[in-house]
Structure 1
């Protein structure tokens, strides 16, 4: 069994299920599951195995499988499906009082964070690993923090297996863990390299307190021990960015340990306590999103003091509220009639099409343009994944965008920056089904 995958599962179960970091003991059924998915050749094969295996599992054994199913869906570009399949919801503090418009106002998250970071040396932001929406703010902050003088970028998904990453300029499958297979995460790494950040892999294959300590000590050794004037931007998962004990049970989080090592208090930004996990409009997330509507990530500022709101002030400095984006139409909406789009290379038209909607935030505020595709690209081999590669990059490079078709009449949109790409459709065994050059025009 893959040591990295198994130890990561320990932490994921602790974080996502029990909201603590108590040791997790896997039963034989779960061990078999981890062993099998660790040896699957690609994400689509892993998804297929999980979708077939989950119905066979006892209810108590399904939680771990559903988590990895959610990660697989996210890595295949099925972003809304990933969230609906495993609706993670943190346990908020029992005494939490939500802000109201009488005392608080909404402000652009990137603007506020940039202002607060001006005199800071460490900025940390977190993500939910199955929710790519939580990666967009990091992408927006990279150039802003670079302009402030931040010169190191650390990403949890990166590993030590790719010493040529910065020189090459783009990540591949060997550059990091399974989370890096998401094109938006790949964009984060590409942008950090392009902007001149020194890239810092810092995670380890450990679990529990050893993992928190190891992460912090690696960051200290690679950054501040070598460069006393360094300024560090960290993209981490979940509660690693916390500066106090709480969300990880009795564990002292990575940020807390790094502060002790450096004497530098991080600016910690949370995106995982208040997440859109479904269509229930009565939860805390939807109540805040309704009270403070915005089309961009936002934070709340106190009308009297101007200070940002945090759901856990001891743990992190700001709570980010992402705009609602989930839709059941991600699972399809049948459209009937003659089609003349979604066709590449003269492939057959589809008269009735199941339109699989994707979130508007994939346009990156207009930087990327919609490009229609359909399951006709799969050459009657379903399921298949459609990857779009930048020119000159190999098949194992992290793609510009991707989407997995699970039905023969599905159609959807890729989101790509204007330019020339290599489109590649592959089956779950990695077989090339179709390869084609496409051009995405300027607006």
Structure 2
């Protein structure tokens, strides 16, 4: 990926991606709640001088113009960076909104913020994966699930690439009798999304990413019931216990809202990072372990958040560099043992996924075509007459502007105009300017 580390790197974000590195690196495993809880809907501590970034330009975003929020946040950036409350987390929040807009460089830059000066050491000379065969990840996971009634996948919030597993797993698990799709990011008002058949800005935080949004559409199409389960500790919970309270509350919500109501339920759970661990990080049991203990069910858990490309090689896990150097990761990959079981580097996960290095083609990541089946489509010239930063959006015909687009990408002054990456079907394309002016729409059929 042709992305350089920023010369002047802002301060670290506050939520460190939970990863399970080799045991000597266990000291890097950490969790912080501030960003995660704000994104999940908790009221942040009051700061009378600045609005909550997640609520800036709320009406415009709900009408289908997320560019309005990003432009306003960029205008307010100096003030956020002077705010004692927002300064530690603001750079990561801004990058997250760039990810949602479709900027392929934003996710790696977000991870670069988080990992900072961390150095993970050189690749090993040999590895347990030497005795395994690489296999396409979704297929290997589906083969290994067996009769498990709960499957939990932990994504990397900053990398939409880790969401390419969502749709094939939804399809495969539906064939195994799974009927519930629970996602950490879903807001409580998820029933409106279920009824409409498409996600909006009210569906969740990370569902603002068109890749995640497409997974939600597929889940609805397949007949899944969407279930929110996030748990936000109350103000009476001391800081030292908030992570544990969140993890246990999430597990109780899944059990109470699904398993208690349907004793035969099969549930697909999509989480962030280490919530999928059947184990503990520091003093805190993770959600998957809580769920196992209170339900009596052993979930099949997938670690899909850490073996990824990074801007700086020292931020990549040694095992990722080992596998990539041997050309073992040409697609999302699970390594399968000789007995047919997926290999995982930690006993708290049943499978570990490795993601290929990314190439940009026509300004878009190659995995959109390879793993999602998207087709590059040039933005119609008639829509490119505006100036300044613009946002190209593609919606399905029949869905309103308020629906999360099937794809969107920023058009930046002085840079090559990227392509849209579109699924097959009837769509309409429009371009939104910084001031909210709209060019289009133009109808197309792919």
- Under TM normalisation by the shorter chain, which class is it? 0.7 to 0.9
Deviation by residue 1:301-344 (Cα, 9 ceiling, x = unmatched)? 234x443222222x2111100111155x8xxxxxxxxxxxxxxx
Correspondent of 2:427 among 417, 421, 430: 421
Residues 200-349 of structure 1 aligned to structure 2 (within 5 Å): 200-206=227-233, 208-246=243-281, 249-278=282-311, 280=313, 283-284=317-318, 285-303=320-338, 305-313=339-347, 315-326=348-359
Residues 8-157 of structure 1 aligned to structure 2 (within 5 Å): 13-16=14-17, 19-21=29-31, 35-41=52-58, 42=61, 43-52=66-75, 57=81, 63-87=88-112, 88-89=114-115, 99=127, 102-157=130-185
**Structure 1 residues without counterparts, runs of 5 or longer:** 1-11, 330-355
Deviation at 1:162, TM superposition (A): 3.6
State the secondary structure of the residue aligned to 1:402: strand
How far apart are the structure 1 equivalents of 2:441 and 2:363? 23
**Are 1:433 and 2:438 counterparts?**
yes
Q: 1:182 to 1:301 in 2, by over 3 A?
A: same
Query: Which residue in 2 is equivalent to 1:172?
Result: 200
Higher mean C-alpha deviation, range 186-195 or range 52-61: 52-61
Higher mean C-alpha deviation, range 396-405 or range 153-162: 153-162
State the secondary structure of the residue aligned to 1:15: coil
Deviation at 1:36, TM superposition (A): 4.5
CA-based RMSD of the aligned residues comes to: 3.3
Q: 1:203 to 1:147 in 2, by over 3 A?
A: same
Query: Which residue in 1 is equivalent to 2:410?
Result: 404
CA contact (8 A) 1:96 1:311 kept: no
Query: Which residue in 2 is equivalent to 1:385?
Result: 391
**Structure 2 residues without counterparts, runs of 5 or longer:** 1-12, 19-27, 39-43, 234-241
Deviation by residue 1:56-107 (Cα, 9 ceiling, x = unmatched)? 7379975512211221111001123331344255989999966256423212
CA contact (8 A) 2:110 2:158 kept: no
Deviation at 1:427, TM superposition (A): 2.9
How far apart are the structure 2 equivalents of 1:213 and 1:272? 21
How far apart are the structure 2 equivalents of 1:123 and 1:34? 38
Q: 1:378 to 1:31 in 2, by over 3 A?
A: farther
Deviation by residue 1:342-379 (Cα, 9 ceiling, x = unmatched)? xxxxxxxxxxxxxx621121125473211012787354
State TM-score, norm by structure 1.
0.79
How far apart are the structure 1 equivalents of 2:311 and 2:95? 14
Large movers: runs of 4+ above 6 Å: 25-31, 58-61, 90-98
Q: 1:436 to 1:38 in 2, by over 3 A?
A: closer
Deviation at 1:166, TM superposition (A): 2.0
Deviation at 1:14, TM superposition (A): 3.8
CA contact (8 A) 1:417 1:440 kept: no
CA contact (8 A) 1:374 1:411 kept: no
Q: 1:366 to 1:277 in 2, by over 3 A?
A: closer
State TM-score, norm by structure 2.
0.79
Deviation at 1:208, TM superposition (A): 1.9
State the secondary structure of the residue aligned to 1:114: helix
CA contact (8 A) 1:244 1:253 kept: yes
Of structures 1 and 2, the one scoring higher in RCO (CA 8 A, sep 6+) is 2
**Are 1:186 and 2:209 counterparts?**
no
